[in-house]
Structure 1
Amino acid sequence: MSLGVFISVGAWAKPTVMIVATGGTIAGAGASATNSATYTAAKVPVDTLINAVPQIQDLANVKGVQALQIASESITDKELLSIARQVNELVKRSDVNGVVITHGTDTLEETAFFLSLVVHTDKPIVLVGSMRPPSALSADGPLNLYGAVALAASPESKGKGVMMFMNDSILAARDTSKRINIHTNAFSSQWGALGTVVEGKTYWFRQGVKRQTTQSEFNIENIKGDSLPLVQITYGSDSMLPVAYDAYAKAGVKAIINAGTGNGSVPNYLVNTLKNLRQQGLIIVRASRVPDGFVLRNAEQPDDQYDWVVAHDLNPQKARILTALALTKTSDTKEIQRMFWQY
């Protein structure tokens, strides 16, 4: 009798983790087992992903939802909003303890950062991908998925925000990016991993201090429609032309992220172009093409004088996400700069 009671209580106590599949390499397929870098993404459905790693059922009651079936480079703001709304509905359910999102690695960091800003929950949300398709030798997807489920199921993950899990590392959605496109250790943060998962157990070493999830002023429930204010990125180099900036302005963008060299530098021959665009009402954000470090305000350029914004340590693609969300609330550059300091 006592053994039966123990088993029933243990089964009742097992957490429930929902896997939200969106496609990507983790759901891809190559022509042969030696095709680790050439393959077709988004081929394998969510049930097949789950059944391929039966060990995850030892960690949690795992169920799947096919939210999208797409290679992540094709994700737009419309898909970001769709994913966020589906995840938001899941985390509001009392029978769901955590969510894992399988996702292509190309834009995994953008989706993770977006969710960290707009989904209000203390339940763990974990994005996971792979660098090799399931059909390849030494495919990394199955172990990545196992670790992601372990992370989402762990009570210690509660209140840690939106995370990414790749190559055994627990990574913050805010400051992690893809830094190499052919190795399994593709993702890292200049500020380090939050922790690691080893054989299904989480180990923690740091926690983010920036605003996210329940502390965020943005909320997916307050965003209407299937688009965000249009924000585009220009990439800094030598010998640039103003035509790209002018074309974006004519296309109706509300803000331009200048992924400048070094400290978000703007070449002297483009300063007037950006000043004129700001005078026309466009928000100008100085980011950097350099992976690490951060952009100092009023260094290189007099940002206060020109009424420009600096992206701090957010890379250009994440600066685009935050700027678009900021523009749903305000066009005041001081307010937008505050958001960059706080998020």
Structure 2
Amino acid sequence: MQVTKRWGMLSAAFLAVALALPSGAAEPKANPKPKVVILATGGTIAGAQPKPGDVGYKAGAYPVSALIKAVPGIDEIAQISGEQIASIGSQDMTDAVWVKLGRRVNEVLADPSVSGVVVTHGTDTMEETGFFLNLVTKSNKPVVLVGSMRPATAVSADGPMNLYNATAVAVDPNARGRGVLVVLNDVVHYARETTKTNTTSLDTFASPNRGPAGFVLFGKVRWFSKPTWRHTTESAFAGAIPDTLPRVDIIYAHANVGPEYVQASLAAGAKGLVLAGVGDGNGTQALIEALSAAAKKGVVVVRSSRTNSGAVARNVELDDDKLGFVAAQELNPQKARVLLQLALTKTKDCAAIQEMFEQY
């Protein structure tokens, strides 16, 4: 009786083990790592020098696959895939590339299996592309722009570490809902806030008005306060990316400047103008008169400042009500241009556009 009972217990145990053993081909294991898609546009991070030690280089020389291979351990923090959107230096960024990139970002993020997107980009116009994506992305998933100040072939190239950190930020759950981000030199910036401040320094990006979003050191992220302005899913432009954007030019104020730049922009078909003004968004009397005349003809004119920080408030330096201008608030000229381009796809009413500059 004891033998029979013991045999039955052993048989049950062997059956359980047998059922647990794989039969034939093993079933594929689910990859627990989050999925990140890297969209490459070129830039210094993909740049190559003609020969070692050369100061000059060709931007966008390497494909996204090469960038990924150059980052040890990146596959340990995420499932990585890459797509080439463009292969240009960011000084050659165009509205057409913005439209293509913005639409692809929205398509990728609509996939439930994707946790975030990283965009490799040149640093020269990174803040503009980042702010554009901040306005048109229809998702609260992380979108992180990253670049480098040294080409991929340089001694002590900064691209691999930047890309590793950007990927770590893209998979961080606390990055969700913060809008589009920029990562360089161990610092996380809000795309709306940051600007390039130095020609060659690794520490070129700063957020002069409200400070950085956080820090990231060897893939470990420390966050600061969340943004208060409208972005991504709360933006009126989210997902509504037109085929083309209206022309908006920046008019740079300086001593003795006349009306000629305004006249040239209008002749070229500008629908909007942004004043990169001296001080608190001002300019010579001749320049202000030319801009006001353009505003009275239906061209939307936004006053910003060339000083790189601070706010241009309405009716402070100039009488915006009388002149027909919009005040850029905290947006620098290049970002004011981006918002005005998108605003003009919705309205030409200055009061409505002023409200956008208060919110975004």
User: Does TM, normalized by the shorter one, top 0.5?
Assistant: yes
Whole-angstrom distance in 1 between the partners of 2:29 and 2:236: 38
* Structure index of larger Rg: 2
Whole-angstrom distance in 1 between the partners of 2:52 and 2:230: 43
Aligned counterparts, 1:159-178, within 5 A? 159-178=177-196
CA RMSD after TM alignment = 1.7
**1:193–1:206 CA contact under 8 A, matched in 2:** no
**2:213–2:224 CA contact under 8 A, matched in 1:** yes
Unpaired segments of 5 or more residues in structure 1? none
Letter in 1 for 2:263: D
Deviation at 1:270, TM superposition (A): 2.3
Letter in 2 for 1:27: A
Whole-angstrom distance in 1 between the partners of 2:52 and 2:211: 33
Letter in 1 for 2:329: H
Q: Quick one: which of 29, 52, 74 aligns to 2:92?
A: 74
| Structure 2 residue matching 1:134: 3-state secondary structure | coil
Match of 1:197 in 2: 216
Match of 1:27 in 2: 46
Match of 1:212 in 2: 231
Match of 2:282 in 1: 265
**1:131–1:184 CA contact under 8 A, matched in 2:** yes
Aligned counterparts, 1:217-236, within 5 A? 217-220=236-239, 222-225=240-243, 227-236=244-253
Letter in 2 for 1:307: G
Whole-angstrom distance in 2 between the partners of 1:194 and 1:323: 25
TM-score, length of structure 2 as denominator length? 0.90
Letter in 2 for 1:159: G
Whole-angstrom distance in 1 between the partners of 2:151 and 2:288: 45
Letter in 1 for 2:234: Q
Deviation at 1:275, TM superposition (A): 1.7
Q: Deviations over 1:224-261 (max 9, x none)?
A: 32x20110001110010211101111111111101010
Deviation at 1:11, TM superposition (A): 5.4
Whole-angstrom distance in 2 between the partners of 1:33 and 1:161: 38
Deviation at 1:213, TM superposition (A): 0.4
Whole-angstrom distance in 1 between the partners of 2:70 and 2:287: 53
**1:194–1:206 CA contact under 8 A, matched in 2:** yes
Percent identical among aligned pairs is 45
**Misfit runs of 4+, over 4 Å:** 8-11
Match of 2:204 in 1: 186
Deviation at 1:158, TM superposition (A): 1.4
Letter in 2 for 1:152: A
Match of 2:113 in 1: 95
Q: Deviations over 1:7-35 (max 9, x none)?
A: x9995321000010110000001134433
Residue 282 (structure 1) aligned with residue 299 (structure 2): yes
Deviation at 1:223, TM superposition (A): 3.1
Letter in 2 for 1:171: H
Match of 2:75 in 1: 57
Whole-angstrom distance in 1 between the partners of 2:36 and 2:206: 25
Whole-angstrom distance in 2 between the partners of 1:270 and 1:159: 41
Residue 335 (structure 1) aligned with residue 352 (structure 2): yes
Unpaired segments of 5 or more residues in structure 2? 1-16
Letter in 2 for 1:298: N
Number of equivalenced pairs: 336
Residue 132 (structure 1) aligned with residue 132 (structure 2): no
Deviation at 1:122, TM superposition (A): 0.9
Whole-angstrom distance in 2 between the partners of 1:42 and 1:113: 21
Q: Deviations over 1:97-133 (max 9, x none)?
A: 0000000111111010000100110110000000000
Distance change (3 Å), C-alpha of 1:243 and 1:279: same
**1:218–1:325 CA contact under 8 A, matched in 2:** yes
**2:59–2:89 CA contact under 8 A, matched in 1:** yes
Deviates more, 1:65-74 or 1:124-133: 65-74
Q: Deviations over 1:298-325 (max 9, x none)?
A: 1221001112101111010000000010
Deviation at 1:192, TM superposition (A): 1.0
**2:103–2:241 CA contact under 8 A, matched in 1:** no
Q: Quick one: which of 255, 270, 284 aligns to 2:272?
A: 255
Whole-angstrom distance in 2 between the partners of 1:286 and 1:266: 10
Match of 1:325 in 2: 342
Q: Deviations over 1:138-173 (max 9, x none)?
A: 110000000000000111211121100000001001
TM-score, length of structure 1 as denominator length? 0.95
Whole-angstrom distance in 2 between the partners of 1:313 and 1:160: 18
**2:254–2:283 CA contact under 8 A, matched in 1:** no
Letter in 1 for 2:227: G
Whole-angstrom distance in 2 between the partners of 1:213 and 1:121: 6
Match of 1:314 in 2: 331
**1:266–1:301 CA contact under 8 A, matched in 2:** no
Letter in 1 for 2:63: P
